[in-house]
Structure 1
Amino acid sequence: MSNPLANDALLKFGRILTVIVQALLGLGAIALIIAIPVIWLSQSHIAEAMSADSSLSLGATLGAITVVLLLCFVIVSLAFVFFRNLKHIIDSVGEGDPFVPENSRRLSVMGWITLGIQVVALPVAGIGLLAAKAFEEQNFTVDVDLDLGAIILAVTLFILARVFRHGALMRADLEGTV
């Protein structure tokens, strides 16, 4: 019996989109890792850009920027794993078998990743604000907020994980009775 979803346009688009997003996230991760030594090699340029009355030393400013870059790398890496899990779920739907225990686990992981990104983003914003104070004349801004949409997404993913877990159990029970 052929799978009617094997050539579904939305699933194909989802696969392509997740691969593109993963590629962009991979490039972003590489750029963040490359930026760290570049920042430290550009100490003289950063010192020139710093405000004369900055309360932070050059070393503290470089350290703060490094921590922000490392935490951004963590966020980008988490997002990469999120989209990898999403691609696996899309693939299982295309194969006609989405209600498997593995998809339940993937959805739970995606929920935790969503919350993790929110948790990591808070110190990024705080440390970024601290570092930005060293460059008062440069007009840097840092936005700090808790994303309600991300919290709702995480709750939705946890609920979907339970739905998929229950669907997999129901299917296993049904197969056991036949």
Structure 2
Amino acid sequence: MNSPSPIPLAASRFLASAGRIICTVVAILLLIIAATLAVAWPAVIAEAVEKGMELKVADIQPWASLALLGAAVMLAMGARMFQRLGWILNSVSQGDPFTVDNSRRLRHIGWLMIGIQIVGMVTGWIGTRLPPNHNITVDFDLSLSGLFAAFLAFVVAQLFEQARAMREELDGTV
């Protein structure tokens, strides 16, 4: 069996690792911002009122924190996808991609993709709750390409399962 070219495989493994790290760091930062916003909001309101501003700030804070939380959850799911992809790429570099574990990882990636779509729709709905006169926009819609990618992950998982079964059958006949 031909071994995969090491350079593209190494680059893919690096990108999967970098994607996981970036998603994780940004998700943590968004959680910190959401928590800080929730804790500091009374002080912000008091200062704005002292300066004579007329605000309906209480309408913004819970929705903004929830929108940040939704984005953090989507990024955490993305980090899990990159982690699973990295594990698959590691098994490819070891010469054994068609395993039960990789089929399970691909199905997990498919479910994470669907989960990201669902959380994105909820986060988009939360964004509609933010007052329109403020410069805060949250725009997440259902992505057909995201759903198609999830479908492809499930199909590839099934192909991996069949390839594994065929390999086992071939090994048994030799």
Q: TM above 0.5, one fold?
A: yes
Matched AA of 2:115: G
Aligned length in residues? 169
Cα distance between partner residues in 2 of 1:67 and 1:18? 28
2:7 aligns with: 9
**Residues 52-110 of structure 1: CA distance to partner in whole angstroms, max 9, x if unpaired?**
474xx61x532222222222221111111100110111111111111111111111111
* Cα shift at 1:177: 2.2
Partner of 2:124: 125
Could you list the runs of 5+ residues in structure 1 that have no partner in the other structure?
none
Matches within 5 A, 1:37-116: 37-43=35-41, 44-45=43-44, 48=48, 52=54, 54=56, 58=58, 60-116=59-115
Bigger relative contact order (CA 8 A; separation at least 6): 1
Report the AA paired with residue 141 of structure 2: D
1-side partners of 2:22 and 2:29: how far apart? 10
Structure 1 ranges of 4+ moved more than 4 A: 51-54
CA deviation string 1:116-138 (max 9, x = no partner): 0000001111112212x1x61x3
Which runs of 5 or more residues in structure 2 are unaligned?
A: none
Match of 2:16 in 1: 18
Give the CA RMSD over aligned residues. Answer: 2.4
Aligned to 1:164: 160
**Percent identity between the two aligned chains:** 31
The question of 1:173 aligning with 2:169 is answered yes
Letter paired with 2:148? I
Deviations along 1:139-169, one digit per CA (max 9) or x if unpaired, are 3333242111101101111110110010011
Is the 2:110–2:154 Cα contact (8 Å) retained in structure 1? Answer: yes
